[in-house]
Chain A
Amino acid sequence: KNEVEQSPQNLTAQEGEFITINCSYSVGISALHWLQQHPGGGIVSLFMLSSGKKKHGRLIATINIQEKHSSLHITASHPRDSAVYICAVWGGADGLTFGKGTHLIIQP
C-alpha cells in the first residue's frame, strides 16, 4: 500500500509570497492528484498529473516520477488561497490514497 507524505503540515505566509507544498509517495503510481478543501468543506480537484508540469492561473504542479515526488506551487499568494491542500495518488486497484493535507493560511 502506498504511503503518502505531505509537508509542511501547516503553513502560514504573507500575501504575495511564493508557496510550495511537497508530496512524496512510496510506490510507483499512474497519476497524482492535488485537491483543495476550503473551510466550508467542499473539495475541488486542482490537478491530475502523470508526468512533468501543469499550470492553471497562479497554481503550478510538478511531478518527478523517478523521485516519487510532487510539488504544488502558488505564486503571488492571496488570502483566498487559504485552504487545506491534499495530495492523493492513484494506485489502480487501491484507488486513491490521500496525504494528510497541508493547512495553508495566507495573511493579508
Chain B
Amino acid sequence: DTAVSQTPKYLVTQMGNDKSIKCEQNLGHDTMYWYKQDSKKFLKIMFSYNNKELIINETVPNRFSPKSPDKAHLNLHINSLELGDSAVYFCASTTQGAVGQYFGPGTRLTVT
C-alpha cells in the first residue's frame, strides 16, 4: 500500500487556470507538508498542517491555498497559475516518534 500518495502525477495547464493537487497519507500521521522543488532542484517548504491546523506558512503567494479536510488529507489549490509556478510539488507527512518524513511521489506541474 502506498503510504503517501499524490494526484495527479503530472499536470500541464495554461496560465491563468485554477488547479488542485491532492495528497493523502494512510500512515495515521498528524502532520503534513507541501514542498516545492524548483527547476534547480532546490526544495523549499511551503505549508505545514498539524491536526488540520496551519502551523507553517512560508512566503508563498496567496494564490496558493492549502486545505486539510481531515488529518489524512492535505490538498493544494492554486489560482491564476503563472509560468513561475512550474515545479515539482511534494507532499510529506510525519508524526511524533516517526523516523523522518514520508514523501509522496511528487506532482510535476507545467504551466504553459
Interface residues of A (CB under 8 A from B): 33, 35, 37, 41-48, 84, 86, 88, 93-98, 100-101
- Complex contact B43–A33 (CB within 8 A): no
Name B's A-contacting residues (CB within 8 A): 33, 35, 40-45, 48, 55-56, 58, 88, 90, 92, 99-103, 105-106, 108
- How many Å from the CB of B106 to the closest CB on chain A? 5
Residue from the list A42, A84, A93 in contact with B103, Cβ < 8 A: A42
Give chain B's interface secondary structure class: strand
The residues of B that contact A43 with a CB separation of less than 8 Å are 90, 92, 103, 106
A88 to B44: give the CA distance in the assembly, Å: 10
Is there an interface contact between A96 and B42, defined as CB atoms closer than 8 Å?
no
Q: Which residues of A contact B43 (CB under 8 A)?
A: 86, 88, 96, 98
CB distance A45 to B45 under 8 Å? no
Complex Cα–Cα for A44 and B92 (A):
10
Q: A41-B106, A43-B90 are in contact. Are A98 and B101 (CB under 8 A)?
A: no
CB neighbours of B35 from chain A (8 A): 96
